[in-house]
Structure 1
Amino acid sequence: MLKSFLNFDEMITPKIITIIYWLGIIGVVIGGLMAIGTSITFGGSILAGLFSGLCTIVFGVIGVRISCELIILSFNIYGKLREIAENTAVK
């Protein structure tokens, strides 16, 4: 196990992406709720604050999901290319 880790035969980033995804979702939701709360606290338009907070949450969650999927996609492509290379190697 240590040898495969040190030789980069096993990737740890795909496992870490799940944690990063959930931390990103939590951060986006907190940021959206803070946008709503800030608008209400500082006497801005409640409707505008609610709209901006909800947009932050919706588009932020989508953005976090897309970015994590792109990272996972690159590792899936790497895995498939490695599989192809092993199957087509001259023996």
Structure 2
Amino acid sequence: MLKMFLTFDEFVFPKLVTIIYWIGAVVIVLSTLGGAFGAMSIGNYYGAGGIVGFLIALIAGVLSLIVWRVVMELTIVLFSIHDTLKAIRDQGK
């Protein structure tokens, strides 16, 4: 385990990507809920602005989750490309 960690022969991130994804998703959802309810509390003072802010917070939250998912998938693709190139290199030896 220590050798793997120190030599970079095997990457750790692909094993952790699911955990990191879910932590990020929870943070995004909590931030979205905080923004949405914050917008609704502002709506008490500014009327319809609270509803608009609530909808914007929800839309931003959904888009953030989509972008987060794409970023994680692209990261996995990069590691997959590395593994494939490594296998091709090893076949040539």
TM tier, shorter chain? 0.7 to 0.9
Which digits, 9 at most, give the CA deviation of each residue in 1:4-41, with x for residues without a partner? 33221221011122111111111111111111111111
Structure-2 separation of matches of 1:76 and 1:38: 41
Please tell me the root mean square deviation across aligned C-alpha atoms, in Å.
1.4
Matched, 1:76 2:80: yes
How many angstroms apart in 2 are the aligned matches of 1:2 and 1:47? 53
TM-score when scaled to structure 2?
Answer: 0.84
Structure 2: where are the runs of 5+ without partners? none
The 1-side partners of 2:42 and 2:54 are apart by 13
How far, CA to CA, are the matches of 1:3 and 1:24 in structure 2? 29
**2:54 matched residue in structure 1:** 50
1:53 and 1:6 map into 2 onto residues whose CA distance is: 43
Distance 1:19 1:48 in 2: 33
Structure 1 length as normaliser, TM-score? Answer: 0.86
CA separation in 1, counterparts of 2:4 and 2:58? Answer: 44
Aligned-partner Cα distance in 2 for 1:24–1:67: 11
Aligned with residue 70 of structure 2, among 66, 69, 75: 66
Query: How much does 1:57 deviate?
Result: 1.6
Cα distance in 1 for partners of 2:4, 2:31 equals: 39
CA contact (8 A) 1:28 1:60 kept: yes
Distance 1:54 1:4 in 2: 42
Equivalent residue number for residue 32 of structure 2: 32
Is the helix fraction higher in 1 or 2? 2
Percent identity reads 35
